[in-house]
């Protein structure tokens, strides 16, 4: 193997590590509503998650993969891609071990930014960072949780009224909400796969296309399939850790709350993946973690009309981990790249 090939192989191994982290930390995003409300067992939820996340990754994963792979930092080389993957993976692994639902999206974009800064500060390259796209991505990180909270509050109001109508007409009305929860799980997992597979593999689109002359779309399809395998492995090994935190420790979910939160999460993630691609040419890599947790917070607020139903300690720990994610991932990738370059 030539050096470039070696780093591509190592990079793809690192991409699988990121994908494993995605499954381990972010399997909670589509599943916590159904599991937390008791609509489905943890094992069956993870099976559904793995299947529909793979479908979403393969059919629509390219929309966001291109943004991370060629949008945030131009022409990342194999060494930089490897350093970014390792940095993002280390932070998400630590957070998952502690049961904290951090954003793999933020970790990945932060680590890619760290490489861009390394190019500028260590090698005096012309600015490789596309600050326009970075600003748009950061804006989406703010608007997506706010949108999810607002939508979950609205949907909770709608479904609460629907519950009152069904109670008087259908004896086992709760089964309707159970089926809706299962639909939401499938839809949310699909949206997750479409938006998040780029976090694991998007950084390698430019690398592989440039080294081997493979068309971008073909490269992204292969990378989506690879990422889907890693996501499934992560979900089946460590996925339960964060599912328990979000599904049970933020607020107690009933069927109505879970249905509203799940649909809100799925719609926001899918819309941010799809609509910007149509109008701007690239999908927004939003945090599916932020959307998921925000939807749970939203229905908790809607039910009690205050913050009293929320576990403030858990929410505070989650928000603190969110704030730290980008600077930690960027610092780690910068440091790893610097150390690797000393020996190459």
Distances (CA, A) of 61 to 266, 270, 284, 296: 15, 11, 11, 25
pLDDT score for 308: 64
Query: Which token pair is 247?
Result: 């599904």
Q: Specify the pLDDT at position 229.
A: 93
Residues of the chain with pLDDT under 70: 1-4, 65-72, 74-75, 127, 133, 137, 247, 249-250, 282, 285, 306-310
Question: Which one, of 100, 103, 84, lies nearest residue 141 by Cα?
Answer: 103
Whole-angstrom distance, CA of residue 125 vs CA of residue 12:
26
Tell me what pLDDT residue 342 has.
Answer: 87
What pLDDT does 292 receive?
85
Structural domains in the chain (count):
1
- The reported pLDDT for the residue numbered 74 is 67
Give pLDDT, residue 181.
92
pLDDT (tens digit per residue) in 109-157: 889 889 989 988 988 887 677 777 677 767 777 888 899 999 999 999 9
Say how many C-beta atoms besides its own lie within 10 A of residue 323's C-beta: 10
Q: Give Cα 146 distance to the centre of its chain.
A: 16
Determine the structural domain holding residue 234 and report its residue range: 3-342
Q: What is the pTM of this model?
A: 0.78
Q: What would the pLDDT profile of 244-282 be if each residue is shown by its tens digit?
A: 777 676 677 788 888 999 999 889 988 887 887 787 776
Buried b (16+ CB within 10 A) or exposed e, 226-254: bbbebbbbbbbebbbbbbbbbbebbbebb
Specify the pLDDT at position 334. Answer: 95
Q: Which residues of 278-290 are buried (b: 16+ CB within 10 A; e: fewer)?
A: eeeebbbbbbbbb
């Amino acid at each position: 193997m030539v050096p470039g090939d070696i780093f591509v192989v190592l990079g793809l191994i690192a991409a699988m590590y990121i994908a494993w982290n995605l499954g381990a930390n972010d399997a909670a995003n589509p599943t916590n509503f159904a599991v937390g409300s008791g609509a489905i067992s943890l094992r069956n939820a993870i099976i559904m998650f793995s299947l529909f996340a793979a479908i979403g990754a393969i059919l629509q994963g390219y929309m966001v993969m291109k943004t991370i792979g060629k949008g945030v930092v131009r022409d990342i080389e194999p060494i930089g891609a490897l350093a970014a993957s390792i940095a993002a993976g280390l932070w998400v692994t630590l957070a998952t071990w502690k049961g904290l639902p951090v954003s793999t999206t933020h970790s990945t974009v932060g680590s890619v930014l760290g490489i861009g800064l390394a190019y500028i500060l260590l090698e005096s390259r012309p600015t490789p960072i596309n600050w326009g796209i970075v600003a748009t991505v950061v804006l989406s990180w703010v608007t997506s949780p706010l949108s999810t909270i607002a939508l979950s509050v609205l949907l909770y109001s709608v479904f609460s009224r629907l519950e009152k109508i069904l109670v008087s007409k259908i004896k086992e009305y709760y089964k309707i909400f159970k089926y809706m929860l299962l639909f939401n799980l499938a839809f949310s997992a699909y949206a997750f796969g479409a938006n998040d597979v780029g976090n694991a593999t998007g950084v390698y689109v430019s690398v592989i296309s440039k080294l081997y002359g493979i068309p971008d779309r073909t490269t992204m399809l292969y990378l989506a399939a690879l990422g889907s395998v890693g996501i499934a492995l992560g979900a089946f090994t460590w996925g339960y850790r964060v599912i328990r935190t979000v599904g049970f420790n933020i607020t107690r979910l009933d069927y109505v709350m879970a249905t509203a939160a799940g649909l809100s999460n799925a719609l926001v993630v899918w819309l941010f993946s799809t609509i910007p691609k149509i109008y701007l040419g690239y999908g927004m890599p939003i945090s599916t973690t932020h959307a998921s947790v925000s939807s749970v917070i939203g229905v908790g607020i809607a039910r009690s009309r205050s913050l009293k139903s929320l576990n403030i300690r858990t929410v505070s720990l989650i928000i603190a981990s969110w704030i730290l994610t980008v600077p930690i991932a960027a610092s780690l990738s910068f440091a790893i790249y610097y150390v690797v370059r000393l020996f190459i």
